[in-house]
Amino acid sequence: MLNILSGTQVKVLDRAYISSENIESWQLMERAANQFADWLVQNFPDFGREVIIFCGPGNNGGDGLAIARLISETYKCVMVVFFEESGKCSADYQTNWRRLPNSVSRIFWRDFQSETVQNPIVIDGIFGVGINRPVEGVFLEGIRIINRMIGDKIAIDVPSGIPADDCLKGEAVKADYTVTFQFPKLSLLFPEHAAFVGKMLLKDIGIPEQFLGGMSEGRLYVQYKDIPSMHRRFNQFSHKGDFGRVLLIGGKTGKVGSMVLAAKATLRTGSGLVFVSVPSSEKQILQISVPEAMVADNSELRDLSKYDAIGIGPGWGLEIDPDYFAEILRSVKRPVVIDADGLNLLAKYPRLFDFVPSGSILTPHLKEFERIVSGVACHRDRLEKAMEFARKHQIYIVLKGAYTSISCPDGSQYFNSSGNKFMATAGSGDVLTGVLSSFLGQGYHPKQAALCGVFHHGMAGDLAGAKKNRGLIASDIIESIPETFVQMKLQ
Ligand SMILES: NC(=O)C1=CN([C@@H]2O[C@H](COP(=O)(O)OP(=O)(O)OC[C@H]3O[C@@H](n4cnc5c(N)ncnc54)[C@H](O)[C@@H]3O)[C@@H](O)[C@H]2O)[C@H](O)CC1
Ligand SMILES: [K+]
């Protein structure tokens, strides 16, 4: 897993690494520029296109100059747009300015005429993680020029204007891609910044984690390679009891589809036995839609101890008696998954939180979360509040969206890297409830269930999205769940 750092931490880390390895800081910049240039050449192979690189006065601009040199023999026309005399810029900027070959044209920002270039590749190197105040003056003009241009826009490290660990106040470059170095920066993961960051790509510049020392704040970025080792393994003697008995509760009239989706997802994630509690009028629909599931009648709800995991809330309705909900929570005595109306009921009757078993996994989307904790200004606040909440109630908060965050009672906070925009579709959350309940039922620790569940759900969405694009529906995610296990070679 990768640590997620703040702007200040990145700079401290860079310095620690440079001094211990006895390298010059321009050499680290050269690695970053090489990574960027390689990615650019591979992904934008039309070398006849003009490349315009905007270079601010700091090391982000220095990266831009180094990139200009590295790609100058590949692309036919490379131009640098600068804002300050080189002598007023950072030392590594100056080094790279001197090393610019003659084939790279240089133009002062005020003289640059954006109308004269057709469909260029625009590279934003105005500011990186060193930004320390809202942008104004000439640099703001630069940001506006980039945003007015038509072409592919790629930000170096962070889109200029976005603070590395806080919410944007003011304007910033709207990039299609952000190629960030070594560690994801927290603010690149905020939903408010999606239109600025575009697609985020991570490039390793060879700084080992050990240089982080005590700087890690427990914010970690979860990638594909982190997941297989978190899984429980089963063998040929495993029987359906080992894979867990899961009960799902929800699905009022008109919303029983949510239980159908959750039940199918639970089964596809590997649960041995799935029981579903829905109103009597909906039982038949459920049995016909998911013959593998069993319908739990009220007598079966009296003894909840026989279930290995319980998922509550999708399509449940807000008319549920809070005392009934409290009774369920009180009698479960093991972590549960709570979603949708289960969360809305908690928001409506906050006293119910006292009964939520510790270790439970709550899966709000942004609106549901804001119903629970009011007064959220931006994602930074949300993340802090989710953390506080997870600690206070000893539960896991899975805050859904791009880079779903998982806030844990031990103070750690994880960010998921799988998933895509096509998953913002009806029923996608019900599928996640099923996946999480299934892993809990298979005996996973709630933290492992949450990390694996969120990753597999996103990965299934990626596999389905590759085929279905914007036509993706929640059932497609369910159908792709088995492929996630096959690809990870899990047994
Ligand atoms: N390991 C890495 O991540 C590496 C990153 N590199 C690149 O270096 C930048 C960070 O460079 P730095 O010089 O610290 O910051 P900036 O380029 O963002 O420059 C800021 C510069 O401008 C001043 N400033 C800050 N805010 C404003 C403002 N609103 N208006 C005007 N001026 C402002 C500030 O005082 C600085 O002097 C990082 O993002 C990477 O792109 C290296 O390549 C090495 C490896
Ligand atoms: K930038």
Per-residue confidence of the chain (491 residues) as pLDDT tens digits? 999 988 888 888 888 888 888 899 999 999 999 999 999 999 999 999 999 999 999 999 999 999 999 999 999 999 999 999 999 999 999 999 999 999 999 999 999 999 889 999 999 999 999 998 899 999 999 999 999 999 999 999 999 999 977 899 999 999 999 999 998 999 999 999 999 999 999 999 998 877 777 777 889 999 999 999 999 888 777 777 778 999 999 999 999 999 999 999 999 999 989 999 999 999 999 999 999 999 987 667 788 999 999 999 999 999 999 999 999 999 999 999 999 999 999 999 999 999 999 999 999 999 999 999 988 889 999 999 999 999 999 999 999 999 999 999 999 999 999 999 999 999 999 999 999 999 999 999 999 999 999 999 999 999 999 999 999 999 999 999 999 999 999 87
Q: What is the phi/psi pair of residue 292, to 5°?
A: -75, -15
Binding residues: 59-63, 124, 128-134, 157, 160, 315, 365, 400-404, 429-430
264 & 148 share domain: no
Q: Does 331 share its domain with 191?
A: no
Residue 222 lies in a domain: no
Are the C-beta atoms of residues 147 and 116 closer than 8 Å to each other? no
Q: Which domain holds residue 462?
A: 228-487
User: Of all atoms in ligand 1, which is nearest to the CA of residue 181?
Assistant: 3
How far apart (Å, rounded) are the C-alpha atoms in residues 421 and 55? 31
How far apart are the C-alpha atoms of 66 and 458, rounded to whole Å? 36
- The verdict on 185 and 297 lying in the same domain is no
Whether residues 342 and 398 fall in one domain: yes
User: Do residues 211 and 244 share a domain?
Assistant: no
Short-list 342, 491, 363, 338, CA closest to 416: 363
Q: Is the CB of 225 within 6 Å of ligand 1?
A: no
36 lines ligand 1 (CB under 6 A): no
Q: Is the CB of 89 under 6 A from ligand 1?
A: no
Same domain? 200 vs 172: yes
d(CA 130, CA 60): 8
How far is ligand 1, taken at its centre, from the CA of residue 244, in Å?
52
Residue where a domain terminates, one of 217, 247, 281: 217
Which ligand has an atom closest to residue 92 CA?
A: 1
Q: Which residue has the tokens 């940001």?
A: 143
438 found inside a domain: yes
Q: Is residue 440 one of the residues assigned to a domain?
A: yes
- With respect to residue 76, please indicate whether it lies within any of the assigned structural domains: yes
Distance CA 156, CA 127 (A): 8
Please tell me if the CB atom of residue 137 comes closer than 6 angstroms to any atom of ligand 1: no
Sequence-ordered alpha helix ranges (H) in 333-445: 341-348, 366-372, 379-393, 428-441
Nearest atom in ligand 1 to 158's CA: 39
Residues 205 and 255 both lie in one domain: no
Residue tagged 């690189």 (tokens) = 53
Residue 223 domain-assigned (yes or no):
no
Where is the domain boundary, 162, 188, 217?
Answer: 217
From CA 236, how far away is CA 276, in angstroms rounded?
A: 28
**What is the phi/psi pair of residue 265, to 5°?**
-65, -40
Nearest CA to ligand 1 atom 26: 131
List binding-site positions for K(+): 60, 124, 160
> Any idea what the Cα angle at residue 464 is, between residues 463 and 466, rounded to 5°?
70
Ligand nearest to the CA of 154: 2
Domain assignment of residue 454, yes or no: yes
Number of domains in the chain: 2
> Which of 189, 210, 237, 289 shows the shortest CA–CA distance to 20?
210
CATH number at residue 25: 3.40.50.10260
Q: How many CA atoms lie within 13 A of 7 on its CB side?
A: 21
What is the spatial distance between Cα 424 and Cα 404, in angstroms, rounded to a whole number?
12
Ligand 1 contact, 157 CB (< 6 A): yes
Examine the domain organization and report whether 15 and 133 are in the same domain.
Answer: yes
- Say yes or no: 396 and 287 in one domain: yes
End-of-domain residue from the set 196, 217, 238: 217
Considering only CA atoms, give the Rg of the chain. 25
Pocket test for ligand 1, best of 10, 19, 28, 59 (most atoms within 8 A of CB): 59
Looking at the structure, tell me whether residues 310 and 438 fall in a common domain. Answer: yes
Domain CATH number, residue 250: 3.40.1190.20
332 and 264 assigned to the same domain: yes
What is this structure's pTM? 0.94
> Is 124 within 8 Å of 154 (Cβ atoms)?
yes
Considering the domain boundaries, does residue 345 fall inside one?
yes
Same domain? 65 vs 177: yes
